[in-house]
Amino acid sequence: MTGVRGVRSTADGIRVVATEPDPAGKVRVTVTSSGICGSDLHLASFGPSNVTLGHECCGTLDDGTPVAVLPPVSCGSCDRCLEGNEQQCVAALGAMYGVTLDGGMADEVWVDPRNAIPLEPELLLDHANLVEPLAVALHGIHRSGVAAGMRVLVIGAGPIGLCAIAAAGTMGVDVDLEAHRARRIEAGERLGARIRTHPVIRSGYDVVLDAAGTQSSITASIDAARPGGTVGMLGNFWDPVTVGLGFQMKEVTLVPAFTYGHHHGVSELADAIRVLGEVPDLPEAIVTHHFSLDDAPEAFRTAGDRDADAIKVVLHP
């Protein structure tokens, strides 16, 4: 194969193909690891695409600097960007590595210099693909107003839910977890969550973080919130959902969260780097499968196979 190897959705499914990068005005990141997100599975289901997948990636610059890739390319000058809300930049919605621009499931990815975020030297690059989902979790936590002393419940123990538990723990917040599969329950407990399954003790939470993004999870989240409480919507809702009278009677606040920006002047991606350094158990708790780049079709099959019970699948060139 000539050119740079990249993982794309083709007419024959997920395949590793030769790509031709566009380096104009960009810096090269030689990829070390790239995680498969649930969003990647959805994007692949849409059919063939000319974009290389992978928005959870990290690697090194040509000078050896370890970096994580910030996926959205925001304009930096609109009112949303100037307020630190880059995730609301209209330009960024159409310019995201791994979604509309070639991403990091590849030997290398060329990115805007602003989007190559230096990592702490002590962080293992094999684990730094988790910076992106950690930033997603932090943004949802911040948007939902989570603070020490609150009763907080996380519904869903996928990567975002587990990252939310880890991130909240570094803020001194105790978290309960509602999950159903043994591997995910074990991961949540390892990260410090208490497991809650009985309906009687599921209610009365100040904040419920819905990390599943389904009709059943949003219903359970509203049920679990106290009157006047908050439901943070961390999971991607790919299908429409409805809310019932209980939502209105309890005056629950639904708070959507999308990607990440800044919180009190601090980049949430940079804050995610901090969390990854403070929670050494996180990679082993979340990453359940590793594949080489050439094995991307099997990696995607595993990530989408409920029987495989994968939490996070990672590709390595």
281-304, pLDDT tens digit by residue?
999 999 999 999 999 999 999 999
Task: To the nearest 10°, report the CA torsion of 5, 109, 74, 55.
Answer: 60
The answer to whether 128 touches 276, Cβ cutoff 8 Å, is yes
- Residue with the larger pLDDT of the pair 84 and 175: 175
Closest by CA to 281, choosing from 195, 190, 194, is 190
Q: What is the mean pLDDT of residues 85-97?
A: 87
Identify the pLDDT of residue 123: 87
- For 4-133+261-316, which CATH superfamily applies? Medium-chain alcohol dehydrogenases, catalytic domain (3.90.180.10)
pLDDT in tens, 122-139: 888 899 999 999 999 999
Mean pLDDT of the residues in the chain: 94
pLDDT above 70 (res 191): yes
Domain boundaries, the chain: 4-133+261-316, 145-256
**pTM of the predicted model as reported, rounded to 2 decimal places:** 0.95
Identify the pLDDT of residue 3: 77
Identify the pLDDT of residue 200: 44
pLDDT in tens, 38-71: 999 999 999 999 999 999 999 999 999 999 999 9
- Residue with the larger pLDDT of the pair 94 and 242: 242
Q: What is the mean pLDDT of residues 141-162?
A: 96
Structure tokens at 275: 């969390």
CATH class held by domain 145-256? alpha beta
Identify the pLDDT of residue 162: 98
